């Protein structure tokens, strides 16, 4: 299982490297706080952990998606209705998403959100405020011009509708028993047998609009094992999970991506590495 859509800060590529460093005793409940598109929980279930032993929490619209999946209320038929309205010509998808994003957030927001998020420029988190969609700028279909270095086109959605449908169907059929909440993680009541993983927005970034978090203050309150992903080490024994890839844009200009560190709190002894 993989995350339904691309998502800024998503851990899809490094989920296994992170999980390799997390000690999860039998009987523990894994709490995926700031779960976003869910890469970590999905990788954990793919490793055979039961959905019943996982709790996912996010304050953004992805919180509603996971809550619908967990409650068995996600209706693939309703997603299909929206997918059928997508233009088959990829050149027209951006305008369609732009139009959808102008409509008020309604009862179908869980389904509309997935489409908007898949088309969001740079995977930037789509938000909701006052019954409206926020952060909505969408990718254009891009085709190479003669003489251009890049030879392949760029799709306006990541993933495109067919793959999005497959990913969501896989999630819906494998996640029964999961517990999930759309909530601020600071209000989350931590079970005694919890092992926490927190993936806050990178410190100092303005991403996720209103959804920010002082992760140091959060973990100070806790007495259960707690692992935190950040672009910087938060403890002396933090491990470097990824040194950051260079990302090449269409223009060919390269910029350095963030490093990814995993820090741990309330865990003694050497790092457990799978
Ligand atoms: C880096 S992303 C998480 C990415 C996720 N691990 C993945 O693989 O897709 C950070 C997430 O934190 C959420 N967030 C930020 N502040 C929060 C808060 N106070 N409570 C709950 N969620 C919060 C945002 O909505 C966003 O989805």
Indicate the domain borders of the chain.
12-247+257-265
Ranges of beta strands (E only) in the chain are 29-33, 54-58, 127-129, 132-134, 179-182, 194-198, 226-230, 239-242, 246-248, 254-256, 260-265
CB 58 near ligand 1, within 6 Å: yes
Average pLDDT over all residues of the chain: 91
pLDDT of amino acid 253: 56
pLDDT of amino acid 225: 97
Split at pLDDT 50, 70, 90, the class of 104 is very high
Which residue among 4, 117, 208, 261 is best mutated to probe the pocket of ligand 1, counting the most ligand atoms within 8 A of its Cβ?
208
> CA–CA separation, 51 vs 37, rounded Å?
16
Split at pLDDT 50, 70, 90, the class of 251 is low
Say whether 160 sits in a helix, a strand or coil: coil
pLDDT of amino acid 246: 55
For the segment 12-71, what is each residue's pLDDT rounded down to a tens digit? 999 999 999 999 999 999 999 999 999 999 999 999 999 999 999 999 999 999 999 999
Split at pLDDT 50, 70, 90, the class of 244 is confident
pLDDT > 90: percent of the chain: 79
Q: Which residue did the predictor score with more confidence, 266 or 144?
A: 266
Domain 12-247+257-265 CATH class label: alpha beta
- Pick the atom of ligand 1 nearest to 7's CA: 9
DSSP state letter for 71: T
For the segment 198-239, what is each residue's pLDDT rounded down to a tens digit? 999 876 555 554 556 888 889 988 999 999 999 999 999 999
* Choice among 145-149, 219-223, 268-272 with the minimum mean pLDDT: 145-149
Which residue among 11, 31, 59 is best mutated to probe the pocket of ligand 1, counting the most ligand atoms within 8 A of its Cβ?
59
The pTM for the full model equals 0.92
pLDDT of amino acid 138: 95
Confidence check: pLDDT of 153 > 90: no
Mode of pairing for the β-strands spanning 29-33 and 246-248 = unpaired
pLDDT of amino acid 212: 66
Which residues, at least 6 apart from 271, have a Cβ–Cβ distance to it below 8 Å? 21, 237, 239, 264
- Pick the atom of ligand 1 nearest to 12's CA: 8
Which residues, at least 6 apart from 111, have a Cβ–Cβ distance to it below 8 Å? 78, 79, 81, 82
What is the distance in A from the centroid of ligand 1 to the CA of 182? 11
> CA–CA separation, 111 vs 118, rounded Å?
11
CB 260 near ligand 1, within 6 Å: no
Split at pLDDT 50, 70, 90, the class of 194 is very high
């Amino acid at each position: 299982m993989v995350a339904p859509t691309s998502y800024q800060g998503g851990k899809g590529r490094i989920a296994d490297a992170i999980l390799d460093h997390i000690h999860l005793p039998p009987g523990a409940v894994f709490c995926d706080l700031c779960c976003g598109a869910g890469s970590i929980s999905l990788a954990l279930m793919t490793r055979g952990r039961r959905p019943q032993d996982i709790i996912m929490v996010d304050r953004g619209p992805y919180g509603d998606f996971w809550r619908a999946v967990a409650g068995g209320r996600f209706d693939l038929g309703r997603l299909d209705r929206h997918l059928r309205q997508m233009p088959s010509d990829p050149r027209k998808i951006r305008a369609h998403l732009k139009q959808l994003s102008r409509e008020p957030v309604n009862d179908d927001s869980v389904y509309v959100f997935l489409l908007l998020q898949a088309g969001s420029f740079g995977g930037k988190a789509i938000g909701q405020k006052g019954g409206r969609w926020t952060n909505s700028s969408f990718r254009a279909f891009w085709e190479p011009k003669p003489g251009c270095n890049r030879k392949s086109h760029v799709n306006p959605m990541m993933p495109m509708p067919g793959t999005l449908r497959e990913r969501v169907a896989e999630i819906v059929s494998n996640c029964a028993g999961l517990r999930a909440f759309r909530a601020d993680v600071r209000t989350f009541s931590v079970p005694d047998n919890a092992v926490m993983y927190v993936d806050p927005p990178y410190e100092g970034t303005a991403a996720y609009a209103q959804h920010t978090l002082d992760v140091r203050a959060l973990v100070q309150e806790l007495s259960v094992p707690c692992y935190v992903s950040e672009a910087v080490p938060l403890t002396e024994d933090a491990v470097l999970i990824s040194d950051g890839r260079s990302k090449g844009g269409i223009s060919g200009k390269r910029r350095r991506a963030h490093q990814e560190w995993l820090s741990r709190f309330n865990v003694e002894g050497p790092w457990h590495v799978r």
